[in-house]
Chain A
Amino acid sequence: MTILVGIKRAVDYNVRIRVKSDGSGVETDGVKMSINPFDEIALEEALRLKEAGKTDEVVVVSIGSNDVQQQLRTGLAMGADRAIQVDTADELQPLTVARIFKALAERENAQIVFLGKQAIDDDGNQVGQMTAALWGRPQATFASKVEVDDGTATVTREVDAGLETIEIDLPAVITSDLRLNEPRFVKLPDIMKAKRKPLDVVSLDELGGHAGNAPEAGHHAPPAPRGGGIMVADTSALVAELKNRGLV
């Protein structure tokens, strides 16, 4: 069986984000780009499933211009068998991305489409759910534990109330939460090997094109700062201040 893993090229999570002074977006020039951390967790889980003999191959997919080949090569170095770049220069909305994953899942006869629960740039948290809906297959979002067994998967999900467990028939969409695993580090020999692994480029039109009618992003602004805080000397002063403000 095949597992498709979506990996998005996103601003590295260690980068301090700055909004452009003209409000047109966020500064990305010269900024370090990486695999979206939640996607990296999804890829790690797929690789572990392969190592446990639960799947034959792991295919990494990224959508974007040739820049995304960098992240695809990293994915191959981590252990993915092959890569697919869906070539487009446009920034796509979740519904279009979901259509792409559905089309690829059908083309590749994938048993699991594994994605991060959200990308840390747009924080949308939509693509997995939308892919499952369009595909008409189960969705297990926010996964913190995944067990695959003969055509089904048992998934523990991190929900507000605690840990929820569901059982799903494959094929299905699973999205990873933070604590599913800790992704492996890439070793130098693996980077060399990754250069020889296959990387296919397909056009967006081949997979159904744009869904259209997307919400338009306008002005960007930094968040309103908090300010005006005070320091107190000791616990008594803290209690006095809390009482003074009517908080206790």
Chain B
Amino acid sequence: MSKILILAEHDGATLNPGTAKAVSCARAIAEHGGADIDVLVLGDNVDAVAAEAAAINGVSTVLATSAPHLAAPLAANHGPELAAAADGYTHVLAPSSTYGKDVLPHAAALLGVNAVSDVMAVDGARQFKRPIYAGNAIVDVTVPEGLMIAGTSRSASWPAAGDGGSATVQAREAASAPAAHTRYVGVEGSGGDRPDLQTANVVISGGRALGSAEAFDIVYQLADQLGAAVGASRAAVDAGYVPNDMQVGQTGKIIAPDLYFAFGISGAIQHLTGIKDAGTIVAVNKDADAPIFEVADIGLVGDLFSVIPELEQQLS
């Protein structure tokens, strides 16, 4: 039987949905010989977040570790703490977010093992599938017997495990010393009030065809009407129309909304990699030969500057 520890991701106040997705990945491992699934919450004053984690279906115990030096999500502190907490577990998992990818390999190295990045499917307690070459190939990976398994779960591949669980919350003392060599200054978000790109059910993205930062306003308007998050292609980001953290694609965010709109996006392979797990892909582009239409479920050849206002009107 497996014993799985999941590193929770949170912002100090609420749990990130990537955590419940990692629980789904852990439950897939549990289908191969059973598993106990625990969640580790690192931070300062983590009671509220721990309570949220305890409500995820399938979790046995939530280990809540509060310490001042764990308040900021620094790998220099969270990495050693995760490694210390992993003692006795067969698997250690983290969401494949920038946080998980920063911390998990650090802990894996301290534990003396390689990590399995971006687990997208589970074929056995030690057998996984993961994407390589920007998702252009899927490889089967087997971790040899006797080794602890460290991995990140690819959030776009797993549904969030539901609520309704009632795990025990256990206070756990911090085991690591603060790392004086790394200091957290702060984080500047650009998101505003819109839904988070990585967890939104509906995402509307714009590409280079928008032509300017001002023109992006029509994308924001439609998004607000539909309660959607807003993304962009790399071309639109490189052109300076929108900030970096809105980029969807292999080098930006990999997302899996129920409904994805691509306006004026040609469909470079690196963008397609970021959206191919979406439920339904709608593409609107002037160029009938744009590669985006090869992956779109519903395609419309047309000018986004007339289609978007029409959509707004007809969907109101």
Contacts and interface: CB of A to CB of B under 8 A. Distances in A.
B87 interface: no
A125 to B, nearest CB: 5
A160 B99 CA distance: 8
Interface stretch (B22-30, B31-39, B183-191, B203-211): B183-191
B182 to A, nearest CB: 4
Contact of A162 (B75, B99, B191): B191
B131 A126 contact: no
Nearest to B243: A162
Contacts of B293: 229, 231
B140 A215 contact: no
Interface string A76-103: 0000000000000000011100100000
B281 to A, nearest CB: 7
A129 B109 contact: yes
Interface stretch (A53-61, A189-197, A236-244): A236-244
B143 interface: yes
A213 B110 contact: no
B213 interface: no
B307 interface: yes
B227 to A, nearest CB: 11
A216 interface: yes
B302 interface: yes
A167 B183 contact: yes
A229 to B, nearest CB: 5
Nearest to B74: A166
Interface stretch (A63-71, A107-115, A133-141, A201-209): A133-141
A160 B259 contact: no
Given A126-B105, A162-B188, A168-B182, A234 B302 contact: yes
Contacts, number: 244
Label chain B's interface by main secondary structure: mixed
Q: Counting chain B CB atoms within 10 Å of each CB, which of A94, A160, A179 scores highest?
A: A160
Interface stretch (B48-56, B58-66, B111-119, B167-175): B111-119
A216 B141 CA distance: 6
B195 to A, nearest CB: 13
Contacts of B106: 129-130, 132-133, 139
B276 interface: yes
Interface string B276-306: 1000111010000000011111111110001
Contact of B138 (A94, A161, A163, A223): A223
Q: Counting chain B CB atoms within 10 Å of each CB, which of A132, A223, A231 scores highest?
A: A223
B97 A160 contact: yes
A196 to B, nearest CB: 36
B186 A11 contact: no
A166 B184 contact: yes
Given A123-B117, A138-B181, A162-B188, A222 B137 contact: yes
A17 B113 contact: no
B295 A226 contact: yes
Interface in B131-162: 131-144, 147
Contacts of A131: 109
A202 to B, nearest CB: 22
A238 B296 CA distance: 12
Contacts of B117: 123-126
B114 A93 contact: yes
A52 interface: no
Interface in B95-133: 97-99, 101-110, 112-118, 131-133
Contacts of A172: 181
Contacts of A19: 136-137
A129 B280 contact: no
Top 9 nearest A-B pairs (CB, nearest first) are: A130-B109, A162-B189, A129-B105, A133-B109, A218-B140, A126-B105, A235-B310, A17-B136, A165-B185
16 contacts: A17-B136, A26-B133, A123-B117, A125-B105, A141-B98, A141-B101, A157-B98, A162-B187, A164-B184, A166-B182, A166-B184, A167-B183, A211-B114, A216-B141, A220-B139, A229-B297
Interface of B: 11, 74-76, 79-80, 97-99, 101-110, 112-118, 131-144, 147, 179-191, 198, 226, 243-245, 251, 253, 258-259, 269, 276, 280-282, 284, 293-302, 306-307, 310-311, 314-315
